[in-house]
Amino acid sequence: MRVPAHSVCAAIRDDIVAGVHARGSRLTEELLARRYGVSRVPVREALRTLEAEGFVVTRRHAGACVAEPTEREAADLLEMRLLLEPLGAARAAQRRTEAHLKVLRGLVCLGQERARRGSSDDLRSLTGWFHETLAQAASSPVLASTLTGLRHKIAWMYAVEEPPDPVQTWTDHGLIADAVVRGDGERARSATAELLERTRPAHRLRPLSGAEPAERVRTTKHPVNTPSMPA
């Protein structure tokens, strides 16, 4: 059975974000095909997609390599998120469904409970679910796709420190969810912008050379089941 190129793409992207493939390292079709247990055809297609996304560059005499972003490019990502995620929250307040509201409410309740208990590992995962649900509730595939790409890039380039007051952080998430429930787009926009501004100082730029392990970003794609072998 032929493995879809998008599944191979998701697996390679996840490994780039996690630092398995170091920045600047070569990505040969043959080795990638062996690592992910697929033919070279979906690998070739995946590398083209990853190049368009900015994770891969093609160099003369070297072929495909993991990109090496600059500090300016990394800073631009946080600026873009600050502009686009509040827009997504405003759209979510206007376009959300009852299913979206149920998920958002449940995530806020769970996040607030975990914050009071100090379960930091759970909170990181719940935060990702919350922001992805918010983007999906905007009912704009292009905006949701862009925000997912930004989250991948930010996780690749930044380490994020735990919030000093997770209870307050999840209170802030609750304010966003409440605005979406009420259909108040402007309040959803401003509450999201305020949260992003407060959490921005927690982003620490990873070394731009080498491969410091990164947190994985939750994604709706299903990665390839990879064999245990070195990159």
Number of structural domains in the chain: 2
CATH code assigned at 199: 1.20.120.530
- H helix runs in 18-165, sequence order: 29-36, 40-53, 71-95, 98-117, 120-137, 141-157
Rounded CA-CA distance 12/10 in Å is 6
- pLDDT at site 122: 83
Provide the token pair at 47: 């590398």
Q: What is the pTM of this model?
A: 0.82
Q: Is residue 213 in some structural domain? A: no
- pLDDT at site 209: 57
Q: Is residue 53 in some structural domain? A: yes
34 and 116 share one domain: no
- pLDDT at site 226: 37
Rounded CA-CA distance 177/183 in Å is 10
19 and 89 share one domain: no
Of 25, 41, 66, at which residue does a domain stop? Answer: 66
CATH code assigned at 22: 1.10.10.10
11 and 36 share one domain: yes
Range of the domain at 36: 5-66
60 and 79 share one domain: no
Rounded CA-CA distance 66/64 in Å is 7
pLDDT, block means (10 residues), the chain with 231 residues: 81 95 95 95 96 94 93 96 98 97 97 89 90 97 95 94 92 98 98 96 82 46 37 27
